[in-house]
Structure 1
Amino acid sequence: MTTTPLISLTWTDHVTGRQGHLVIDRLVRGVSSGGLRMREGCTLAEVAGLARGMTMKEALHYDPEMRYIPLGGAKGGIDCDPRDPEAYGILVRYLRAMRPYIERFWTTGEDLGLTQDVVDRAAADAGLVSSIQAVYPLLDDETAARRRLADAFAVEVDGIGLDELAGGCGVAESVLTALDRAGVPHEGTRVSIQGFGTMGGATARFLARAGLSIVAVADVKGTIANPQGLDVEALLSARDPYGTVDRAALRAADTELPGDAWLSADADVLVPAAVSYAIDTAGQARVTARWIVEAANMPVLPDAEDLLSARGITVLPDVVVNSATNAWWWWTLFGDIGADPDQAFAHIRRSMRALVEQVLTRAERDGTTPRVAAHGVVADRLPLIAERFGWYA
């Protein structure tokens, strides 16, 4: 796999001077897939790393028997706090500038700092048909496919949209697969989560319903902790669109701790589900958990992962763990599953368990980390995809 992206560019907003980036790492059948994030400090290097990760996520879900054929990897990023009053205008102008790419080569959607409804509204204001219109020519029946995806996005399960729950279901299944392989019971296993937005909140729900105890949750205001377990549903009901929990919803036994306290919580599993680069070499020394399950993109720095591995702490990599969100979109659009939550969750669980099992088995066999093993699976599959579809066409 080449290390040089196909397209890499930086855009400067003529109104505010803010910058945005787009990296298309690879095209398959002329199209790439990857979300658009908005955060203060977003860099081109960050977006390039995320685009490479998308190439890997797509390849990891390649199944020649399915209607969904993985696309290439891409990513967009805007250097702006999504809470900034000027953020929406910047987003619209960015999408307008990227319109030629979105119309032909790049399918995008929500990522850190942006929800899908905001992306959809901004895309319409930018004159786009859809943020994923580049994939439409690959569909057998565009009208039916678009209706199916729209129906899926309209589904809610206990007050949360199916589109928000898909990724968390995949993260939770990754955790449960690791526990099952190690012979660790679900009941009583303690989990600490950084981030309580789309991915972190959904992960917390699925793990709590599987019997695990969520003992700490971190948002922008700090860490909420309870060694006896938090009331996840109450916290979900009390969060704002950015994943910040209203502290009025806390129970008497819940405590408020500093923002980084999630890292050293007395937990068996850590789930970083917020920003990239959350665990560095200093922070890893505070970790006592047995597993770190990367729900966020690139949360553990490479040097920190080396030190964690040397201490016997397993890092399940983002390219595997959080890949279900992207895959669910395409499974639904291409018609492998319908707009039905039970069908979606069953397919996600089955696919993610098989993938995590494959990666962990390979890591154990080769004496490597799960990340190296996942890279090995990708290296095996990319030539098969290229042989079938070519490098660009």
Structure 2
Amino acid sequence: MPTPPSMPPSMPPSTPFMSLTWTDHVTGRRGFLVVDRLVRGVCSGGLRMRPGCTLEEVAGLARGMTMKEALHYDPRARYVPLGGAKGGIDCDPRDPAAYEVLVRYLRAMRPYIADSWTTGEDLGLTQELVDRATAEAGLTSCVQAVYPLLDDEAAARRRLADAFAVEVDGIGLDALVGGCGVAESVLTALDAAGMAPGQARVAVQGLGTMGGATARFLARAGLTVVAVADIKGTVANPDGLDVEALLAARDAYGTVDRAVLRPGDRELADEAWLSADAEVLVPAAVSYAVRPDNQARITARWIAEAANMPVLADAERLLTARGVTVLPDVVVNSATNAWWWWTLFGDIGDAPDLADEAFTHTRRAMRALVGEVLARARRDGSTPRAAAHALAADRLPEITERFGWYAPGVRATALPCHT
């Protein structure tokens, strides 16, 4: 694998506010925390665990979180965007020692989580696992740093707990909102191009939390899912896969039991999803999946980055030159993060039907944001990524002027996580 860039193309240069490397005294595994920016003394960004995770990777992800937060800034809303951050651990989550490594990492990061860094699940981890390890590490909440910024802490805790208790067709609302946002991004791009959902085919890499939910929402919107990929390889069917059957046959890591495949379903090589005969590709698993050495296999018209940083910078330049539009991660997969804060700050979370309210709010927000990004790209003659970064760059100074970097004297109160 080539050395990854520290930031995607068109990303403005930035020196992180704080960057640190931790070494586990038991296994020698390394972990990282990068705080790209603070707003009112607080930052937001998930924690990932994967073999080969690097400080450079985490820094790029933290910068992306700053962009995601800024892009959802609405001066009329209760939700005030936070700064961007990210955590990472260089460890295989399937390793028997992984959980204890996670607990020790969280113990080491306890001062930051207690006062300034709100975190949650990312690649390789589930929210349930993060919550359990957070408690074992002696912390009472993975998002406790944000509570002093809220008008009513008790009400915020209740809203988030209620939202996380909701399931839709057996899948938690928290696992579905991000996929809803990705799907809405794709649908907005199709609308802008005058293509009906029923005319579009899609291939999805990864059937974990984000990829699985995205596949479900796109299939229910009328797109034909012709290929999905997991750690075992690609499953394809040009006539369309039974998405619900595949989702029901997943394990905790998003790997599909091949026993549920139908006669028309084919098992192909790992990267076969790239060359699927589809209009849309959705990389929803690992970073750096689309590289200069494999991008030529792609015939799709759009790539929607459901994963963080799945398209390398050099690959994106080659794709753009031959007419492939990359819908960037800082926009496409931002709904999960925003949903947490919409709920905590009180923009949503009090309706009788929490799932309907969450999906309605997500669809409306993502339609508006993606539409604005595509319009800016057309006006500037740029890519959607460059347009998204330009929009964020416009908003960051206002956020800083209104709210500042620090909140002197504010300390987090020990509060339980959403479970």
Q: TM-score, structure 2 length as denominator? A: 0.93
Q: What secondary structure is seen at the aligned counterpart in 2 of 1:10? A: strand
Aligned to 1:336: 347
The answer as to 2:364 corresponding to 1:350 is yes
Unaligned runs of 5+ in 2: 1-11, 408-419
3-state DSSP of counterpart to 1:92: helix
User: Counterparts of 1:142-161 in structure 2 under 5 Å?
Assistant: 142-161=153-172
Query: CA offsets, 1:49-106, max 9 Å, x none?
Result: 0000000000000001111100000000000000000000000000000000000110
Asked if residue 111 in structure 1 is aligned to residue 125 in structure 2, the reply is no
Residue in 2 that maps onto 1:276: 287
Structure 2 residue corresponding to 1:73, chosen from 84, 92, 98 = 84
Match of 2:179 in 1: 168
Aligned to 2:411: none
CA deviation vs aligned residue, 1:205-225 (integer Å, no higher than 9, x gap):
000000000000000000000
Shift of 1:155: 0.3
Give the number of the structure with larger relative contact order, counting CA–CA contacts within 8 Å between residues 6 or more apart: 2
RMSD of aligned C-alpha atoms? 0.8
> Which of residues 240, 244, 247 in structure 2 aligns to 1:236?
247
Distance 1:56 1:323 in 2: 9
Rounded Cα–Cα distance in structure 2 between residues aligned with 1:59 and 1:197: 27
Match of residue 287 from structure 1:
298
The runs of 5 or more residues in structure 1 that have no matched partner are none
Which residue of 1 is the match for residue 139 of structure 2? Answer: 128
SS at match of 1:64: coil
User: Pairwise mapping of residues 80-91 of structure 1 onto structure 2 (< 5 A)?
Assistant: 80-91=91-102
Cα shift at 1:2 = 5.8
* CA distance, structure 2, for counterparts of residue 14 and residue 239 of structure 1: 35
CA distance in 2: counterparts of 1:250 and 1:150, whole angstroms? 36
How far apart are 1:201 and its partner, in Å? 0.2
**Structure-1-length-normalised TM-score:** 0.99
- Secondary structure at the counterpart of residue 77 of structure 1: strand
Cα shift at 1:188:
3.4
Runs of 4+ residues deviating >2 angstroms: none
Secondary structure of 2:85's counterpart equals strand
1:17 pairs, out of 20, 24, 28, with 28
Is the aligned partner of 1:187 residue 2:198?
yes
Deviations 1:5-64 (A, max 9, x none): 001000000000000000000000100000000000000000000000000000000001
Query: Which residue of structure 2 aligns with residue 63 of structure 1?
Result: 74
Q: Which residue pairs with 1:386 in the alignment?
A: 400
The amino acid that maps onto 1:199 is M
| % identical aligned pairs | 79
